[in-house]
Amino acid sequence: MPGQPSKAELFVVEAGRLVAINLATGVSRVHVEPLAVGVSRAEPALFCHGMPGVPRPFAGVAVGPDGALYVSTEGRVLRC
């Protein structure tokens, strides 16, 4: 498991990896790779929760109270 995230880093989910960007220097590094996330290949529904349109795939990143990073995508939550 990678070390604790720094408060001076922004974390971004890319297809297959979690990237940390240092806010002071702009230098990026791969924090976790491979990461079991990606764009769903399933055919999207024309309606979602009764509303027209196709929902865009996304992934979210959160930090737990213990400093652990969590990534959510495709109905799953991964601890990184």
3-state secondary structure string across the chain: CCCCCCCCEEEEEECCEEEEEECCCCCEEEEECCCCCCCCCCCCCCEECCEECCCCCCEEEEECCCCCEEEEECCEEEEC
Confirm whether pTM is higher than 0.75.
no
Segment 20-73, tens digit of pLDDT: 999 999 999 999 998 877 555 555 566 666 666 665 667 889 988 988 899 888
Return the domain boundaries, the chain.
1-37+56-80
